[in-house]
């Protein structure tokens, strides 16, 4: 996406704008895509189910993924390093790093995921199904 010069209008996303996506057994809600951030990043809220195994081990060659744990906990493995991230933690997975995460708790975890540069969030829509 081409970045624009000059002032841009303020972007807002209210709860009534949410379009949750069922993806890998969890609920993903894209809050901002590239067009909302002038191509800088995307922001997705994840509701990760209790005891969820998460996605298969994977990597992204084209973007960083940053996870802010709002509530609950996620356990990560990033290039063989185990990371336990409880509420308030921030984890940045660099480009190319093989990673996986899971929710070890008996309660859902809520996580904000920033992807930079944006684009991969479109895969959530492509591979998931919009919740009703």
Tell me: the pLDDT tens digits for 52-61? 999 999 999 9
Q: Residue 4: count other Cβ atoms within 10 Å of its Cβ.
A: 9
- Model pTM? 0.90
- Residues 32, 51: Cα–Cα separation, whole Å: 27
- Tell me: the pLDDT tens digits for 17-72? 999 999 989 999 999 999 999 999 999 999 999 999 999 999 999 999 999 999 99
pLDDT of residue 75 exceeding 90, the answer is yes
Cβ density class 41-65: b for 16+ within 10 Å, e for less: bbbbbbbbbeebebeeeeebeebbb
With beta carbons less than 8 A apart as the criterion, state whether 97 and 64 touch: no
């Amino acid at each position: 996406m081409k970045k624009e010069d000059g002032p841009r209008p303020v972007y807002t996303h209210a709860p009534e704008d949410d379009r949750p996506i069922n993806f890998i057994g969890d609920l993903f809600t894209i809050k901002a895509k590239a067009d909302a951030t002038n191509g800088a990043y995307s922001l997705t809220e994840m509701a990760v189910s209790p005891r969820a195994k998460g996605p298969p081990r994977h990597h992204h060659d084209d973007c960083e993924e940053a996870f802010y744990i709002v509530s609950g906990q996620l356990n990560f493995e990033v290039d063989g390093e185990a990371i336990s991230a409880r509420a308030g933690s921030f984890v940045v997975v660099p480009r190319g790093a093989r990673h996986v995460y899971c929710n070890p708790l008996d309660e859902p975890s809520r996580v904000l995921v920033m992807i930079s540069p944006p684009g991969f969030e479109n895969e959530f829509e492509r591979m998931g199904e919009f919740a009703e």
